[in-house]
Each structure stands twice: as C-alpha cells, then as structure tokens.
Homo-oligomer: A and B are copies of this chain.
Amino acid sequence: PRVFRIAVLPGDGIGPEVVAEATKVLQVVNSASPDFELKLEEHQFGGAAIDAVGEPLPPSTLKACQEADAILMGSIGGPKWGVDAKVRPEPGLLTLRKTLGLYANIRPANFASEGLLEYTPLRPEVARGFDTVVVRELIGGLYFGTRKEASAEPDVGTAWDNMIYSEAEIQRITRVAAQIALSTNPPMEIHSIDKANVLACSRLWRKTVTETLTKEYPQIIFDHQLVDSTAMVMVSNPRKLNGVILTENLFGDILSDQSSVIPGSLGLLPSASLAGAPSKVSSPDFKPTHGLYEPIHGSAPDIAGKGIANPIGTILSAAMLLRYSLGLDKPASAIEAAVRKVLDLPATGGYGLRTADLGGKVGTTELGYKVVEAL
C-alpha cells in the first residue's frame, strides 16, 4: 500500500484534545483502507515546545514537517506565553509557514447544516445561505516585511513594520482563488479585498488580480471591494460576499476570523495552508508540495482540559488533508458526510449531539466517537 506520513502538532490549550479526535478518525480511515497506510507521528510545537525545549519550533519538528506528506495541527498559544514573554509560540508558526512556503490559506465558512442556523449571532434570515471561502495570502505583507522594534536604534520610541508585495506573490494566490472558484459549477464569484484608495500594495493587488483573472480565467466573475466596507457588509448582508474572498495576509486574518463566527460556531470550521503550484487545486489529484491543516479556532485556554471543546473543526481539517495533500477524495467525503450526519441528529432527551459551543452537553471524546460510528 502507499504510505503517507502525517506530522501531527497537537500544540497548546484545547489543541491536544481536538487533535486526538481527528487522529482517531484518521486511524479508522486507515484501518478501513487496504490500499494506503497513514503513518501519524506527533511532534512538539508552540507553547508546549517552549516549555519542553525552550523554542516553539524545534529543528526536529521543522524537519518532520518538511518531510511529511501533510501536517495536522491543533492550536498554539495561551496566557502563559503572552506578548511580553521572551519566547512566544507565534513566531514558530510564522517560521513554519514561511519555511514551507505555505502561501495559500483556505478557510471555508458556511453552514455545514441548516440545523445550525439557530446558532448564528446574526438574524437567521440575514445569515441563511452564507457560503464563502476566504483565500488568504499567508507569507507576505506586513507579517513578513522588515520591521523595527521601538527599543531598537535609531529612533528609540518609534516602531515600524513594512507591508510588501510583489506581482508574482499576488499572481500565485490569485490562481489558487481561481481554481477554488472553478471547483463549483457554475464557478463561484471572486471578491478581491484591498484598501486601494490608500495603499500602494493594494493598488498593485487590484491591478494584478484584474490582469490575472481577465487573462487566465475569463470565465470567472470578480469584483474589488475595500476592506472597511467588506467588514461592514459581512455583518449587514453577508450573502453579498458569497463565493471566494481573495485577500492579503492581514486583511485575511481579520476577515476570516470575522466570517468564521457567522455560521454559528467557530468550532466547526477547518482550514488548509498550502504550498506549491496551484494549477490543480480543484481536481482530485491535486497535490500541494506541503499542506498544513488546522481548525480555525485558537487554543481556548479557558476551556482547555475540560473535555468540552468541539473537535469538528479539526476532524474536517483532517478531511481537507486527505483531499488536498494525499489526493484521497473518497475518505475525505466520507468524513464530511459523517460529520453532517452527526450534527443533524436531533437532540434527544435534552442531550444533543453537540458540544457546549453549540448549546449541547456532549464532550469532545464522545463527539469524536459519534463521528467514527457514523463513518
């Protein structure tokens, strides 16, 4: 059988708890499939790695990630390693993204099931049918430009961060967005988000997106919107943004978090961060050179260790992993179907098949078993 190596980074807070459920699901997929073998290997990462070996991304972890066929991550960070800490987990994640070239962050936000409409903070009639995929550029912009801390010479007391983008960086992320848009029939619309009325990077963004889509994907409908107005529309009329939201690193950070609470629970949503040529994202044999998969939620230190975290986001991330990095479309779809089934089961006797974030009482482990059962 083909052997696939999966580097597993449980991380901090609820990370280990939700990752445990996703690996359980992957093990079941593994034993049910004679024609491939999934080799899961855990590695230290984030705050846990800082506590164990003094750095968030130990060389052995980086190496394992580079050599793996795919990476499954939980979440990192927590009050223990705050902004004032000498060593922090976030630079570990940023280095991992940059070193592996994970430039394409893909975050779907939609209603996994109509039954979840009751959990959206929006009026149901405003939120119904919200269905977007945020495609965020992940290794450029303000995150990776040069910067100067206020404590450094010259000009002590002044800090700066440089936002920088090249045409080539914008082209390749535009192509990923286009491939995702083409994965439905008819193709999704693309909404490219920038702040072109102020920023030079945004003007280059707008021009490059226009040129790339017009030339290479004439069949895709697209528009350009300003980031401030997008943040507004996403609350007042989110369906207007249905389709692919294509944007740069910082705007994508903000807008993908904002979009992720509209379908009611953050805990349900997966994400993928991909490296490699984007020409075949939508086809089943697409294989990025590297792929990191993680739930959208953070490490949620307030509920860590309580066994109540929602593992669905991580389980669906594992499904994305199978589909994108391993080309295993069938088990990926099977997991997604199992999740939908479990979430749609009606609550009985006041004991719904949902975790606390969705008003239920089911624990992390139990929900994991239910997905396995439904598989």
A interface residues (Cβ-Cβ under 8 A, vs B): 77, 83, 88, 90, 94, 120-123, 126, 142-143, 145, 147-150, 155, 157-168, 195-201, 203-204, 206-207, 224, 227-229, 231-232, 234-237, 250, 253-258, 260-262, 266, 298
Contacts and interface: CB of A to CB of B under 8 A. Distances in A.
Contact of A228 (B155, B165, B199, B253): B253
Contacts of A231: 231, 254-255, 257-258
Contact of A203 (B145, B149, B167, B229): B149
Contacts of A160: 145, 162-165, 200-201
A235 B157 contact: no
3 closest Cβ pairs, A-B complex: A150-B204, A231-B258, A159-B204
A257 B228 contact: yes
A235 to B, nearest CB: 5
Nearest to A124: B123
B161 A83 contact: no
Nearest to A81: B197
A227 B250 CA distance: 10
Contacts of A83: 196-197, 203, 206, 224
A369 B254 CA distance: 41
Contacts of A229: 257, 298
B149 A159 contact: no
Given A83-B203, A148-B200, A232-B261, 6 more contacts: A147-B200, A149-B203, A149-B204, A160-B162, A231-B258, A232-B266
Contacts of A201: 147, 159-161
A267 B249 CA distance: 31
A90 B198 CA distance: 8
